[in-house]
Amino acid sequence: MSQTASQSPAVPDPSTLPALRVAVLGAGTVGAEVLRLIAQQGDDLAHRIGGRLEVIGISVRDRSKDRGEHVPAALLTDDPSALVREADLVIEVMGGIEPARSLLLEAMAHGASVVTANKALLAQDGAALYEAADDHGVDLYFEAAVAGAIPLVRPVRESLAGDRIQRVLGIVNGTTNYILDAMTRTGLGFQEALTSAQELGYAEADPTADIEGHDAAAKASILASLAFHSRVRLADVHCEGITDVSAQDIAAAARMGRTIKLLSIVERIEEENGERISARVYPALIPHTHPLASVSEAYNAVFIEADAAGSLMFYGQGAGGAPTASAIMGDVVSAARARVRGGVGPRESRYAELELIPLEELRSAFYVSLTVQDRPGVLAEIAGTLSGHGISISTIHQELIDSGADGQEGRAHIGIATHRALESAMTASLDMFSSTATVLSIDSVLRIEGE
């Protein structure tokens, strides 16, 4: 098989290519992997960029800590502000809102392009970052902020830029997927599964951001902003975590041929007088046959539905040092190419400014689990309350808990799956259940998706 090298223009010696000064903010797991990739692929990256990446400093809180061979002590600094002012490119992997936000604004004001994995910052104050990038003619890239190594930001804001996205639905938090998957496989309760995930390094010591859905909500806000050309902030995303999902819910879902996943859903809703959008995160029952049902452990997977493209699915590792670093380095190459060759990357696109639809105006199918008095007429009362609010039942499962003794009343469990109904109608039904003696407790209310 002949090669064309001899006829082609010579490949330049990478050492002759112009240098780009790179500042790295943060040297945790992801930062160390970014530095490893830069060190190990130096010449490759230089060829791909048309310029050499020269790491001029790595800002850390503790300069005395040994961080391995790819994080040279000589480059460590505790003055990130001085560092970013000298850089052409700033890679931010420190996380948190401050000082990350101020440092990135300062970096852009001094002419640096920025690559960040900071979903919380983007979700909370992305507008300020976008505006700074615009004002100073620099680039802002953030592929690593959503779904780790899976290319998602770029497909949404570039590949599908000529299409009309209707919906993005996916599993974008690996920790909660690991926990729910463990509960499904083993029958464990939430707390036991969380503890096991923490022991295995899949959940952090303080798991709040993951298990309460905040991390998935931040990603939903980023995806919604890109998909619908509107500003959607973290506060705009309806967010429910997985802490209330019980072993009983998982078992009930399985009985109905479904499994429970924490879903991030952003959606365009066409209405008579135009359109609104929705961004929400909650645990939901999906059919076993749905491709997302088989996404196991800490993997992420995302569906995108667009008018012309149809359904697309993306699957891969959503977290971890190396996968996140891969996404960051793709952005670094893009930003660096633009430095060398001129031009700017995609800007914020928010011309549509679509309004968010309040949750109560959405329509969903529900799974409701109740503990009720075990006596004739209870089922009719429950069904009557639902139908009185325009909610029709798709399946119902009743099971005796105890038949009562010593003058105590018997108790039964009722699990109901409904057809799609207004959220406000379900809220009103639940209010009635709360105030009737028939219903002893409302154990779970979960949505059903992906039918």
* Spatial distance between the Cα atoms of 350 and 228, rounded to a whole number of angstroms: 8
Contact 180, 245 (CB under 8 A): yes
Burial of 42: CB neighbours in 10 Å, binned 0-12, 13-18, 19+: middle
Annotated binding site for NADPH: 119
Per CB under 8 A, the list member of 341, 363, 375, 397 interacting with a second copy is 341
* The token pair that represents 196 in the structure block: 């096991």
Instruction: Show Cβ contacts of residue 326 under 8 Å, excluding neighbours closer than 6 positions.
Output: 37, 149
* Spatial distance between the Cα atoms of 136 and 150, rounded to a whole number of angstroms: 29
Nearest distance from C-beta of residue 415 to a second copy, angstroms: 30
Site string for a second copy, 349-378 (x = CB under 8 A): xxxxx-xx-x--------------------
Nearest distance from C-beta of residue 406 to a second copy, angstroms: 52
Contact 322, 33 (CB under 8 A): yes
Q: Which long-range contacts (CB under 8 A, 24 or more apart) does 75-82 make?
A: 76/27, 80/23, 80/25, 81/106
Residue list 35-64, contact with a second copy (CB under 8 A) = 37, 41, 44-45, 47-48
Per CB under 8 A, the list member of 322, 379, 383, 422 interacting with a second copy is 322
Nearest distance from C-beta of residue 136 to a second copy, angstroms: 15
Smaller CB distance to a second copy: residue 205 or 308?
A: 308
Smaller CB distance to a second copy: residue 168 or 333?
A: 333
Residue type, 401: I
Nearest distance from C-beta of residue 341 to a second copy, angstroms: 6
Residue type, 252: A
Smaller CB distance to a second copy: residue 44 or 79?
A: 44
Residue list 253-292, contact with a second copy (CB under 8 A) = 291
Q: What is the DSSP letter of 356?
A: B
Instruction: Give the phi and the psi of residue 55 in degrees, each rounded to 5.
Output: -75, 115
Residues known to be catalytic: 219
* The token pair that represents 384 in the structure block: 């009557």
Smaller CB distance to a second copy: residue 50 or 99?
A: 50
Smaller CB distance to a second copy: residue 41 or 246?
A: 41
Per CB under 8 A, the list member of 73, 128, 161, 400 interacting with a second copy is 161
Per CB under 8 A, the list member of 25, 150, 292, 421 interacting with a second copy is 150
* The token pair that represents 159 in the structure block: 């590949």
Contact 438, 376 (CB under 8 A): no
Query: Is residue 402 at the binding interface for a second copy, with CB under 8 A as the rule?
Result: no
Site string for a second copy, 285-314 (x = CB under 8 A): ------x--------------xxxxxxxxx
Stretch that binds a second copy, among 338-346, 386-394, 420-428, 429-437 (CB under 8 A): 338-346
Per CB under 8 A, the list member of 57, 155, 283, 415 interacting with a second copy is 155
Q: Which residues pair with 24 in a beta bridge?
A: 58, 91
Stretch that binds a second copy, among 18-26, 323-331, 376-384, 391-399 (CB under 8 A): 323-331
* The token pair that represents 322 in the structure block: 């190396």
* Spatial distance between the Cα atoms of 205 and 351, rounded to a whole number of angstroms: 41
Stretch that binds a second copy, among 68-76, 346-354, 369-377, 409-417 (CB under 8 A): 346-354
Per CB under 8 A, the list member of 210, 236, 240, 267 interacting with a second copy is 236
Nearest distance from C-beta of residue 161 to a second copy, angstroms: 4
Nearest distance from C-beta of residue 127 to a second copy, angstroms: 7
Instruction: Show Cβ contacts of residue 258 under 8 Å, excluding neighbours closer than 6 positions.
Output: 285, 286, 287, 288, 293, 448
Do you find a cis peptide bond into 9, omega within 30 degrees of 0? no
Smaller CB distance to a second copy: residue 165 or 414?
A: 165
Per CB under 8 A, the list member of 3, 16, 64, 273 interacting with a second copy is 3
Contact 265, 168 (CB under 8 A): yes
Instruction: Give the phi and the psi of residue 214 in degrees, each rounded to 5.
Output: -65, -40
Smaller CB distance to a second copy: residue 349 or 424?
A: 349
* Spatial distance between the Cα atoms of 156 and 140, rounded to a whole number of angstroms: 15
Per CB under 8 A, the list member of 189, 316, 404, 410 interacting with a second copy is 316
Annotated binding site for NADP(+): 25-32
Contact 369, 249 (CB under 8 A): yes
Per CB under 8 A, the list member of 75, 344, 396, 428 interacting with a second copy is 344
* Spatial distance between the Cα atoms of 236 and 144, rounded to a whole number of angstroms: 22
Residue list 170-209, contact with a second copy (CB under 8 A) = none
